[in-house]
Each structure stands twice: as structure tokens, then as C-alpha cells.
Structure 1
């Protein structure tokens, strides 16, 4: 039986939902403060800000801090996010180095000190999901343009025939585990997501790395069991973080609606 992390990955990218075992308590969700701005205004301002930046060069050097609900059915009270960084070889193959970050537990919806044994931050940990290999996106993404980006994603990821924002985001998230997107590519990603009509503004927020941002919700009428809270940097408008939130409706997932089942924060290399 697939774990929650696997269920989410399949649901977000391929558009299917399965079942999963009971899991540990999850991190508290981010708490946006509503703002009086429409989505077209927000995306328009963000695209103009990003496109006004000097043209960047995409680099295959993505660094992220990530956490997923574990596959195990055991309820481990300690949450250990991991920092991932790709290391590339001259022949195009590479591997993902994973190290632990500060562990914590959650009590009554609040972050507290680890309620059990936890590895020291910076401890190297094996991750069998990412063995040596060439990665998924061996060619650089297009420099600009939502349509060009959509075609690129479709060439690398098995997207549905008519992807919604949740499906596109699943592919973009995979891309961003390998490539650090330029400002212009961030602009194209926002335009691509906006075109689906599945986005809404949540408000200002502080992400899990303490950065000021603006949160946008990604929902899906095809897969209403999950939503994504996407965070744009308040100043640069780059995509800096995302939470995947369980809404409910999947047999076997023993989590309260509103539980965060996965999160990622992108770091500056």
C-alpha cells in the first residue's frame, strides 16, 4: 500500500488518488493574513517585477529544505526536515545529497522541542529515492514564455491531456528540485499557473524559513483532496516555498483535514 508521500506525488502530477496508512502528527500550516488584492493584480505585478530583473541563466544547482509525511505507519513524534542539494558529475550524472536540519515536534498545533531522539542538524542521511543518475530534467528549461515552459514540462513529465494548476505545479516542483529558475522562468511559471483559473490569493505570510512572502492557493476540481499553498517572495516575487495540504476524502489517510502532508522551501544556492 502506498504511503501518503507517494499518494500525494501521484495525485498532484498524474491526477489520481489512492489510499494510505495512518501517519504521524504533521507540521502546523502557514497562517496567511488576507490582503485586498486580486489575483490578476498580484500575478501582473509579480510578472513585471520578475521580468524587469537582469536576464538570469538557469543553473542545475537547486537546494531545498523538504519534509514529507513518512511512509511508515508508526507515529513518530519527531519531525526531521532534510536539506537536499544536487551534486553533478562531468558526464551529466549526479546524486542528491541529503542532510538533516533542526528537528522539532508539534503539540496542540504548535512547534515545540523534539519529543524524542533526533539527529544533529547537518547529519548526512541516505535517500534511496535519489540514487546516482541523470535526474529528470537533463536539458535546461526555456528562458521565457508560459507556452514554451508548458511544452518543456510535457516533454519530461507524464501530464494529463488538459493539466490543471495542481498538475502543472507537480511538474514544476519536480523541475525545481534540480534547477534554480531565473526570474524570467519564475514569471513564466506564474503565468502558466494563472491561466488555469485554479489560483486564489491567500495573503501575506511568513514561510518556514522566516522569509516574508505572499501566499497563493492552488486548488483542483478534479482532485479536491489536496491543495497547495504557494509562497512568493514579498520583494523578488520568486517562488520560495510550498505546502501540500490534505483537504480530506481519501480512504485510509488518518489525518485531520487541513493537515500539511508535505512542504518545501527553496534556498538561494
Structure 2
């Protein structure tokens, strides 16, 4: 027995006084030593240790700091994606896919003016009703800033909110990337992000009845003038600029699935925004044809692209892309900070 205990002590891959391995995976040398111990009881010179997976790759990141901001994205990209160096542990190790590229306007496509689209949407009638609740696919760029900040990480999520007749509602949030079905998905976790299986339930909650009469809980009007006042109340600024308008639209759509009349009214409100310019046709991240309208926001240096259905004026998506990188937070020009794709 004494010989076996002595062998264990010498081969111990995780010494109790070594702080490097507290709540962390083994490094390559330690994993090799453990493999040697369990298979042969002695070391074999020259045998390479297996490279650890997610935990070892994240081990290089410093402890997580309080998040300065997390941008909400919605999407499933039919365009290319960048593979993160984050992988699942286990036999079936597969790269986790995230970080969508900006949507690209189709070459040679004709821009559709917003006032023309507003007229088209108004003539469309009442094809579908207003519904409280939302179904949205999002990509959120989670980041920290300052010394020791970890690299930005994109978190793909799908969220479904449904309301009951008694005023209660349920919210289901799932980690998924529709453009890469079945692939591992990056999700938020302490102290660092990790990968989970596609379709992993992040949260499922039921909330008690609520009867707030203030926007965005209040039912949105289907008249353009009153809808603009509704959005201004969400924005809570004296004079709502185009950036504030787009923020308010995102909040509205995170609470309501607009009907035909409300979508037509919203398109009319958007048509009055002087610096929201039509740029042409795009295919959104769920594969739907749309018309893109761009606002260049100078203050945070982002390009905001609103994607509308070219027939009904329904908002399909909203994308925020970095136009000037920031070394401190790790943002690069062209990074998609957020994308939201709303569905019925």
C-alpha cells in the first residue's frame, strides 16, 4: 500500500497548494500525467498530452469584470460567420459559431423610399392582428472594458414571450443560432462565457399579472401621430432623434407583435425621420427578403440598419455595426454589436 500511495503523491496532477488549478481544467502537462497514472502507472517520455478544450482556452482570460454594456442582437445569419476559439469538451468536439458579419446590400438593387413603402403598407389593409408578446432571435455582444478586459463575445439567443388572458405572461429563452443548426452555442456564464448544446434552455419563467397603462406595456395605437407620441414616451427625451426612435422601436417590438395597421403607422413614423436613408434590398438573417434603411449614429460610432418587409412595412430586423473600433473594449470596425430579427 505504501508504494501505491507514494506513486499517487508523485503523480498528483493537482497539488493542493497550487492556485492555478482551483476550479479550472488541467493544463496539458497535468492531463498527460493523469493519463499516464491511470493507464500505465509510469511516464512515457515523448508522449504528448491532449490539448484541453473550452476551459483551457478560457483560462487565459482574466476574471470577469462588471459588464459596461451588453448589446441585444437578433438574428440568424445566412451570411458568413466567424468561428470562435471556444469548443465543447467531450468526444464530439465541435467549434462554436458566433460573431455574424454585417448584412450586405444586394448590388444593383433599387432603394425603396420610406414614404412609398408607407403608402404601400397603408393600402395593405388588416392582414394580421396586433398581439401582445414577442418572438425574437437575438445576438448580443457581451463585453467588458478597461485593463484586463476579456475579448467581446457574441451570444445568440431566441426569446419567446406569450401573454395569458389573466394578464400573466411566460418568457422562454433558448441558446440557439438558426444559421448553424445543431452546432454548439456560446452563452453567458460566470466567470466567463461557455458553450452549450444548440437548444439549451437558458431560462423559463412565468410572471404574475400586470396591467400597466404606460408604454411599452400599453397597447400601441395604429394612428401615426399617436404612435409617434407613444414612442416618444418610451424614449423619454424632449426631442426624439433618429437614434432614439430606433431604440424605441426595438423596445416596442420586444413587447408587441404588431398587426398590419400598427406596422403601417410605424412605417409612416419612420418615413418622417430625415436621416434614415434607403440603401437597397437585403436578405435578413432568417432568409427573408427586405429593404434596408441606414442611420449613421456619430456619437457611439455605429451604423444602424433597419430592415423592413418591402410589401407590408413590417420590421424584420435591426442591426448595429461598429464604424470605429475601440481598443479598450476590443471592438473592431465592422463588428456587429447587435442584431434582432422579429418573427410572428
TM-score of the pair, normalised by structure 1: 0.75
**How far 1:125 moved relative to its partner?**
0.7
Q: Cα 1:242–1:90, aligned 2, differ >3 Å: closer, same or farther?
A: same
Task: Name stretches of at least 5 consecutive residues in structure 1 with no aligned partner.
Answer: 10-23, 106-112
CA RMSD of aligned residues (A): 3.2
Q: State the partner residue of 1:141.
A: 220
Structure 2, unaligned runs of 5 or more: 1-65, 74-96, 187-193
Structure with more relative contact order (C-alpha pairs < 8 Å, separation 6 or more): 1
Secondary structure of 1:219 counterpart: strand
Measured in 2, the distance between the counterparts of 1:137 and 1:115 equals 31
> 1:201/1:188 Cα in 2 relative to 1: closer, same or farther (>3 Å)?
same
Aligned equivalent of 1:20: none
Residue pairs, 1:75-90, within 5 angstroms: 75=151, 79-90=154-165
Cα distance, 1:54 vs structure 2: 2.5
- What is the number of residues matched between the two proteins? 238
Q: Does residue 231 of the first structure (1) align with residue 311 of the second (2)?
A: no
User: 1:164–1:198: 8 Å Cα contact kept in structure 2?
Assistant: no
1:3 aligns with 2:68: yes
CA–CA separation in structure 1 for the residues paired with 2:295 and 2:236: 17
Greater gyration radius: 2
Structure 1 stretch displaced more, 93-102 or 63-72: 93-102
For residues 138-188 of structure 1, the C-alpha deviation after alignment (integer angstroms, 9 at most, x for no partner) is 22100221x211211233x24321111110110110110111112222222
Match of 2:101 among 3, 8, 28: 28
CA distance in 2, matches of 1:91, 1:200: 42
Q: Does the 8 A contact of 1:81 with 1:101 survive in 2?
A: yes
The superposition leaves residues 48-89 of structure 1 with CA deviations (integer Å, 9 ceiling, x where unpaired) of: 221122324311132110011124654477x55211111324
Query: Which of 173, 180, 183 is equivalent to 1:98?
Result: 173
Contact 2:160 2:172 in 1 (8 A): yes
Normalised by the length of structure 2, the TM-score is 0.60
CA distance in 2, matches of 1:104, 1:142: 34
